[in-house]
Amino acid sequence: MATVPDGWWLYFNGAVLLMLILDLAIVHRDNKDVTIKDALFWTGVWVSLAMGLNVFVARELGGEAGMQFFTGYVIEKSLSVDNLFVFLLIFRYFKVPGEYQHKVLFWGILGALGMRAAMIFAGVTLLDHFDWLIYLFGAMLVYTAWKMFQGSDSLDPTKSKPFQWIQKHLPYSDRLAHGHFFVKDKGRWMASRLLLVLICVEISDIVFAVDSIPAILAVTREPFIIYSSNVMALLGLRSLYFALASGLEAFRYLDEGLAGVLGFVGVKMLLSDVVHVPTPISLGIVVTILAVAIGMSLKFPKQADTPG
C-alpha cells in the first residue's frame, strides 16, 4: 500500500471543518425539530461523501486500502448504531425537546472527533511498540461481545461516577435556557441542563470508542484510514439518529448482531498470528452478521406489551 501524503491530513480536516461550519451556521442555525425527510437527505449526503472518499483512497493507495477503509467504515457505523440507543435514553431522561437535540449531538460529535483522533494514534503507537497488546484488545472485544450477547444493560451515562461527580461539583441550573449550555442565574453563570446532556453524550462516546477503535485496528494500522473512516461514520451519526429514532426499538436483535461483529473481530485479533483473514472476507462476514440481525428483527418484530 502506498504511503499516505502528509497533505491529506490537512485537506481532510479542512474539508470536515468546512462541512461542520456549513451544517451549524447555515443548515441548522435555528433550533428546530429535524424532520425524517431532512434526516434521510443528510444521511444520504454523508454516506455519499464517505463513499466518494472511499473511491479516492482506493484509486490513490490501491484496492486493499480502499477495502480497509470501507470495512472500517462499516464496522464503525454498525457499532455506532448502539450509541443511538444511548442518545435516545439520554434525551428521554433529561426531557430534551426535539428542537435542541441536534445542537447537543453536533457539539457532542465534534468533541468525539478530537477524542477519537487521540485514541487512534495512541492505539496505533502502542501496537507498533507492543505487538502483544493485540491479544489484549482481542480478549476485550470477545468479553464485550459475550456481555452484550447475554443482554447486559446499555450504558447509562447518568449513573457513571464521572457524571455524578460533575453534577455534584458543577454549578447547575435545571433549565434548558432556550438551547444555551450556560445560563445566568442571580448574577452567577451556571451550567444549564443542556450542558449536562452534552457531558453524558461525550461520556457515552468514550465508552463506545473503547470497543470500536480496537475493532478497526484489527482491519488496518494505517492511521489515516482508521481516522478518516471513523470520522465519516461519526459525521453521519446525527442524521442517522433522527432518521431512525422513532423506530430504533424495533431492531430487537441488533445487540446480538453487534455482539457477533465484536466477537468475530476479537477472535480475528486473538488468532492473528495463526490465521490471516483477508479484508474482503472480513467485510463479507461483518455485513452478513448485520444483515441476519436486521432480517431477524424484521421477520420477528417485538410484540407490544399487553396489559396483564
The cell numbers describing 137, all together, are 484488545
CA distance 134 to 127: 7
Instruction: Give the single-character DSSP code of 182.
Output: E
Amino acid of residue 278: P
Q: Which residues contact 105 (CB under 8 A, 6 or more apart)?
A: 87, 201, 237, 238, 241
The answer to whether residues 192 and 103 touch, using CB atoms and an 8 Å cutoff, is: no
Say what the pLDDT of residue 306 is: 45
| Alpha-carbon 83 to chain mean position | 6
The values of phi and psi at residue 53, to 5°, are -65, -35
Q: In whole angstroms, how large is the CA radius of gyration of the chain?
A: 20
The cell numbers describing 197, all together, are 446532556
Say what the pLDDT of residue 301 is: 73
The answer to whether residues 193 and 174 touch, using CB atoms and an 8 Å cutoff, is: yes
Cβ-based neighbour number of residue 183 at 10 Å: 20
Please report how many Cα atoms fall inside a 13 Å half-sphere around the Cα of residue 272, on the Cβ side: 20
The cell numbers describing 214, all together, are 480496537
Say what the pLDDT of residue 307 is: 45
Per DSSP, the three-state class of 184 is strand
As to burial, measured by CB atoms within 10 angstroms (0-12 exposed, 13-18 middle, 19+ buried), residue 248 is middle
Cβ-based neighbour number of residue 301 at 10 Å: 11
Give the pTM: 0.74
pLDDT along the chain (308 residues), means of 10: 82 87 64 74 90 95 92 85 75 80 82 83 83 82 80 58 71 71 78 83 78 82 91 84 69 79 83 78 84 84 54
Instruction: Give the single-character DSSP code of 172.
Output: B
Per DSSP, the three-state class of 265 is helix
The answer to whether residues 102 and 34 touch, using CB atoms and an 8 Å cutoff, is: yes
Say what the pLDDT of residue 308 is: 43
Length of the chain in terms of residues written: 308
CA distance 24 to 15: 14
Please report how many Cα atoms fall inside a 13 Å half-sphere around the Cα of residue 145, on the Cβ side: 19
Cβ-based neighbour number of residue 213 at 10 Å: 21
